[in-house]
Amino acid sequence: MSKYIFHKEDSRHHEFNEWLDSKKTFSFADYYNPKRMSFGALRVFNDDTVRAAKGFGRHPHDNMEIISIPLEGSLIHKDNLGNEKVVKEGEIQLMSTGSGVFHSEYNHEQDKATRFLQIWIYPAQLNSAPAYSQVQLNEADIQHKFGTIVAPEAGAHTARIQQDAWLSIGRFDAGETFSYDIRKKENGAYVYLISGNVEIDGHSLSAGDALGIRDASSFNGTVKSQHAEILVTDVPMNLEN
């Protein structure tokens, strides 16, 4: 029988300082909640808004797949692998930090805020060689259906992740129905509503809400607003390597 965990938008930990407005779904940095540690291999899901020209100075990461999805504005990324990239709305960035990476990430915009989703997923193997990828969304792939943006195999519009995990985005219009088939029997789906209102398997979601689904092979939904944008993170639920 399918099992669900419902994370309302206002249940996330919300903190801000002079340059960062951050909404954290799971325990992260100074926020600790033993009931909010992860969803399977999905360890971090932050919705961050960074003031113009501000950001995260040089710092290390290891053994984590880190995905950044700008929703508004753009980021500038620099790392010790030699990458210096601007990641803008409509693009996806993925760092496989493996044995270790140093990087910085700032709002590239000089006169407006940048909002982006920051998602961390445990890798399948530890201490692999670090890697970086960046892809452009293909609008045709995500209109009225779910299009894959992250997968274990790279594609023209798909970033490669070192885990049996998939991220997909779908944009739908009022009254449309949709369905999603979970990729592996051992996986679950964490469904985040970027915008709009939808109903999924009897659960009503508004923008910023999320629904974790496990012990299921698929889910179905209906759009209840003029438009809706949905992000699905399909991850292993068994964390053992």
Report whether 188 contacts 165 (CB < 8 A): no
140's tokens = 């045709």
pLDDT at 240 (0 to 100):
44
What are the residues facing 168 on neighbouring strands?
148, 232
Domain locations along the chain? 3-236
Find how far residue 172's CA is from the centre of its chain: 19
3-state secondary structure 144-206: CCEEEEEECCCECCEEECCCCCEEEEEEEECCCEEEEECCCCCEEEEEEEEECEEEECCEEEE
pLDDT at 12 (0 to 100):
96
Which CATH superfamily hosts domain 3-236? Jelly Rolls (2.60.120.10)
Cα–Cα dist 94/79, whole Å: 12
Whether the model pTM is above 0.75: yes
pLDDT at 241 (0 to 100):
38
- Average pLDDT per consecutive 10 residues, the chain (241 residues; last block may be shorter): 96 95 96 96 98 96 98 97 96 98 97 98 97 96 98 96 98 98 97 98 98 98 98 89 38
Q: What is the length of the chain?
A: 241
For 95-131, the DSSP string reads EE-TT-EEEEEEE--SSS-EEEEEEEE--SSSSPPPE
